[in-house]
């Protein structure tokens, strides 16, 4: 049984790497002849994640475009030239049938190489406003797998290539765990009140943490229970705020234990975060990361608010008073909470990784006939 190599190109951030890993693992589960191979940057998150994974990989001296410091772009050009040579050796050895772009500067050179050598490409677009790499290769992309259906309007072109898959995540168990039991596992009452999950991504968010800390010290609503992930770097600063109705953790692993108990979340607006929340039917008060590339998290939050799945709360407007009033208004309006939960459920695509993997396998099968 011969292997079918598939090149995954992308990284720099977790939002561009973890979707590829989810798709690759699903491919292997569905078809043991599939052989995913990852290409990423030596300076991205993949330098620590990929060596611990089960997949072969190649880390290249890739750099983004230095828009604010254009005189530094010699690094980008030099890295692209060396990466091209390394890709040439890899492709000659592995002969990939398809290249899957998952975004970020780490994907650009591999997609360009694929186009030049007539290797079919598909792309997973993770945000409502896809980045430069996703848009630059639209002429040659067979299919786009969209985490946000709004992204199709930004990319443009033939709409038949856009597949509203959602973001590839680890799907929650079905049926969802019993919420009463999940709350008790956190030593909260099984019934009554609401549980708010607070986390600013895997590293935490100091901007969110400081506002939450002042809110907790001032006094959260009486009928509210909080699971608050601070991130490891700032846990020591906030750990003393643990109380009867507040659980402070440096990290949530598995985060499923927190999702199972939560009714509402205060979180960033990355595609993976929001996709996981919605798969668990949890509406969010989203605080977009203002320094995200091309401010894509703000675009995500606006799109999800327009879809009735979340509330957009820009970081510039995140104050203790604003946070308190937003949460209190939701807790006092069961109809609004139910509307947001229904909007979150409508955006849920928990089986995105399998949907994408099956489409990739169909493309490989059609190419081999």
Check residue 104 and give its pLDDT.
Answer: 80
At 77, is the pLDDT very low, low, confident or very high (cuts 50, 70, 90)? low
Check residue 131 and give its pLDDT.
Answer: 84
Q: What is the mean pLDDT of residues 302-329?
A: 95
Q: What is the mean pLDDT of residues 13-20?
A: 86
* Torsion sign over Cα 127, 130, 132, 138: positive
Residues 6+ apart with CB under 8 A from 3: 33, 34, 35
Q: Give the number of residues written for the chain.
A: 369
Higher per-residue pLDDT: 353 or 128: 353
At 81, is the pLDDT very low, low, confident or very high (cuts 50, 70, 90)? low
Q: CA–CA separation, 165 vs 22, rounded Å?
A: 13
Higher per-residue pLDDT: 227 or 15: 227
Q: What is the mean pLDDT of residues 243-253?
A: 92
Q: What is the mean pLDDT of residues 27-35?
A: 96
pLDDT at 76 over 80: no
Q: CA–CA separation, 188 vs 105, rounded Å?
A: 44
Most confident of 105-109, 203-207, 299-303: 299-303
Check residue 72 and give its pLDDT.
Answer: 59
Domains and CATH numbers, the chain: 4-170+351-368 (3.40.50.2000), 179-347 (3.40.50.2000)
Helices and strands (H and E) in the chain: how many: 15, 13
Q: Is the peptide bond before 210 cis (omega within 30 degrees of 0)?
A: no
Closest by CA position to 272, among listed 174, 149, 147: 147
DSSP state of 210: H
Count CB atoms within 10 A of the CB of residue 214: 15
pLDDT at 1 over 50: no
Q: What is the mean pLDDT of residues 287-291?
A: 91
Residues 6+ apart with CB under 8 A from 24: 6, 8, 34, 36, 38, 55
Each residue's pLDDT tens digit, 149-181: 989 999 998 999 999 999 998 889 889 999 999
């Amino acid at each position: 049984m011969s292997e079918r190599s598939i090149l995954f190109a992308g990284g720099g951030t977790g939002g561009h790497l973890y979707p590829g890993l989810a798709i690759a693992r699903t491919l292997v589960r569905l078809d043991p002849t599939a052989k995913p191979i990852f290409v990423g940057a030596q300076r991205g998150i993949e330098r620590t994640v990929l060596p611990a994974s089960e997949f072969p990989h190649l880390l290249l001296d890739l750099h983004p475009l230095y828009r604010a410091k254009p005189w530094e772009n010699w690094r980008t050009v030099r890295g692209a030239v060396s990466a091209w040579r390394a890709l040439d050796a890899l492709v000659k050895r592995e002969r990939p049938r398809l290249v899957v772009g998952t975004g970020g500067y780490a994907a650009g050179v591999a997609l360009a190489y694929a186009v030049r050598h007539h290797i079919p490409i598909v792309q997973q677009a993770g945000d409502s406003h896809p980045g430069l790499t996703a848009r630059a290769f639209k002429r040659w992309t067979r299919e786009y797998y969209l985490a946000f259906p709004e992204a199709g309007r930004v990319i443009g072109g033939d709409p038949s290539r856009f597949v509203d898959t959602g973001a590839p995540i680890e799907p929650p168990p079905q049926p969802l765990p019993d919420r009463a039991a999940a709350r008790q596992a956190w030593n909260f009452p099984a019934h009554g009140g609401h549980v708010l999950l607070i986390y600013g991504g895997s590293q935490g968010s100091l901007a969110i943490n400081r506002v939450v800390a002042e809110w907790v010290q001032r006094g959260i609503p009486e009928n509210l229970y909080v699971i608050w992930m601070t991130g490891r770097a700032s846990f020591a600063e906030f750990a003393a705020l643990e109380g009867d109705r507040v659980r402070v953790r440096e990290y949530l692993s598995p985060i499923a234990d927190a999702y199972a108990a939560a009714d509402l979340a205060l979180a960033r607006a990355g595609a993976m975060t929001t996709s996981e929340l919605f798969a668990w039917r949890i509406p969010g008060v989203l605080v977009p990361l203002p320094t995200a590339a091309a401010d894509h998290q703000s675009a995500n939050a606006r799109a999800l608010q327009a879809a009735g799945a979340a509330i957009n709360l820009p970081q510039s407007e995140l104050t203790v008073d604003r946070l308190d009033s937003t949460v209190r208004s939701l807790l006092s309006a069961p109809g609004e909470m139910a509307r947001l939960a229904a909007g979150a459920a409508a955006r849920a695509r928990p089986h995105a990784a399998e949907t994408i993997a099956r489409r990739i396998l169909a493309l490989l099968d059609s190419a081999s006939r």
